Structure 1
Amino acid sequence: MTKTFIVSIGDELVKGEILNTNAQYIANSLVNMGFNISAILNLPDDYKQLVFNLRSLLSQKGVFIITGGLGGTRDDITRKALGEVFKKDLVLDKFADRELENWYRSKGREYTDSDRMQARVPEGGILLKNRVGLAYGIYIEINESHIFCLPGVPHEMKSMFDNDVVPMLRQKNLHDERYKCEILYFGDIAEYVLDKKINGIVSRYNGISYGTRASNGIIRVRFESFNGNLESCVNEVKEKLSGNYLYSGFRDISEVVGEILTGEKFTLSTAESCTAGYLAKRITDIPGSSSYFVGGVVAYSNIIKEQILGVSAETLKRYGAVSEQTAWEMASGALNIFDSTFSIAVTGIAGPAGGSKEKP
């Protein structure tokens, strides 16, 4: 497997102000292509630190994905750092220079030397076109290593990574074509029980490994192989654990539910209390959800539960807002309001003190 290093540049990452979703996206994509992630490194917007760390990392051979430190601001330090590390001059790409100048002029802005720096690249490298933004990326092949520098803005990074980096890695045969991976999801079973059952199956196959991860009642199992009969193994797992098997693939459960609803031409509505609309957000985060999601009600107070959803005062008084009975009446009320095929209701305790077994 090709060694791969991911470097993310930004003070906000080092200080923990935001999560490094760029590194997560890149790592997940590369692992599924058969790359070995050797390290993920967060670095501040500090030129000297960047040069020091890049010099150490780039002494190794492999694939290097660097995000951030590009653009027409004082934080544009990545290209200069690469030039210093490899002792390469920054040369002007005339095409990029002309495009940038036209863009600045169209906005009625002055095109300064600082802005022009975005059109420069270490000698021997090439600029990568930004399809959804302004900052160019950089690609350099040197000393048997492949270095990609991408913008730090997530949607710009994803666009450049998917449209440029991945095709180039495949074209250069840097990924391991023997690598195969399958993701299966299971429910209504304890993780240790599932692990024991899967191990009994996998142990009879050579060259296959797996790992489990439980989250919110669903267990994700990742199967990997470089030379084993992965398809047969996974099919046997599905067959022998059919009562607990939910779905497969690199998908969120919201996507799977959406596919089922769309295929059956069913509709869905929600009635939420403690989650305050989060369930509806998860559903509508999926493209095309408007074809099956009708709408939802956030009924945080008992008054709204009664007046909008039609939950009876007697139910609330006798069983409380956090009860199975109230949840059923909330769901029933949403069905009536939205005339949907199905409705999901959520009620519980979401405050910092948490809930209990009786009132979760």
Structure 2
Amino acid sequence: MKYIFLTLTIFFFYSCKGQKDKIDNKNTMNTNNRENAPYNVYKDGELEVNYDEVITKNKNQIKKEFQKYNYQYPSISLFIEKIKYYYSFDINKYKDTTVVLDQSLSPVIAIKDLPALYVDNLEGEVDGLTLLNYNQFIFYDSKTALLWLKKERPDLIIDLVKTFGFDKDDNILKFVFGNVDFKNKFALKELIFEEKDNLYTLRNHLVKKIRKVEYNNQIINSFSETIQGDFYYTLSDIIKEMADTPNDYKNNNYTTAFLLNELALSGITGYIDYFYENYPAYKESIINNGFYNLKMLREYTEKVYENNKSNLDNNDISIVNYIQDPDGYTNLRKEKSTKSEIVQQLKNGEEVEVLNTSDKWYLIKTREGKEGYVYYDRIKIK
């Protein structure tokens, strides 16, 4: 009986070992078939940084910092899952032990054999508190860690959205949007576009999230209304840049139409008029493509813009332009500048005659016969 048991034990041992060898061989084969991580070496002119070497050099110190705070590493499955969630990055595709998640001089680095994420402190050094709070937030949803990061390292939270396009948590988005100057075209462009290989791709989902989180999903009920918001006024500057440098943007025509539709949804229609008049090829492309199924842009173009244009071409005096400004009034300027001399102050609802719309500063005439310039978004049409 003992011999039978021993024989079975030996058989079981070698069977398991054989099975394990097969699994290990299979895993090794899969690893060999995986890709090289794309961002592990950073190059910019003569500057070159190999992050495999950086992590190898600093790994013992990184481990000591985690040990100092008794940090519990996540399982490898949780590690992979959370990185997909926050960074839209599948580290399992790559055979490297170290995987850099973004192409920059201060990247987020996944270290598989800990497993942990590495980020520098502001001085570019290994810092235990930064590592602890960042990893606790990402892998364990620690509110305490998030509060620490918001106070001490807001850049790391902002980068989740700006660099990686994260949009799954409205509370985080609220914090990030609150730290972006929507009046600044460059800051806004950095937020809503992803740049790769000198080509900009619009993050439509973030544009929609801005309306939801910052503007409570407001949409106008009629084109006589306007949703006041720096974000939508600055979009017009980005749209103009896209029209002037079309090769810099992926799916340029659709992206332009999408952003014009955002202006239509917000009642900022003066710029749509300006854009159609100054970039007629875009207008033709948008119409020929069925407005890309963007309903509000179609409605404004067909029911308001084309109708008004027809009336103007026929000298129809029933068209009425009037002032609408969030401050309750706007200034008529002598020149096309906010620093120019004020000719007259115009109250909301005051009717004006539009003489020229070839620029963002419309040339108008008041009821008193005074002429000057008003920014396009301060004029509405009845």
TM-score band by shorter chain is under 0.3
TM-score, normalised by the number of residues in structure 2: 0.23
TM-score, normalised by the number of residues in structure 1: 0.24
> Comparing both chains, which one has the higher relative contact order based on Cα–Cα distances under 8 Å and sequence gaps of 6 or more?
1
Larger strand fraction of residues: 1
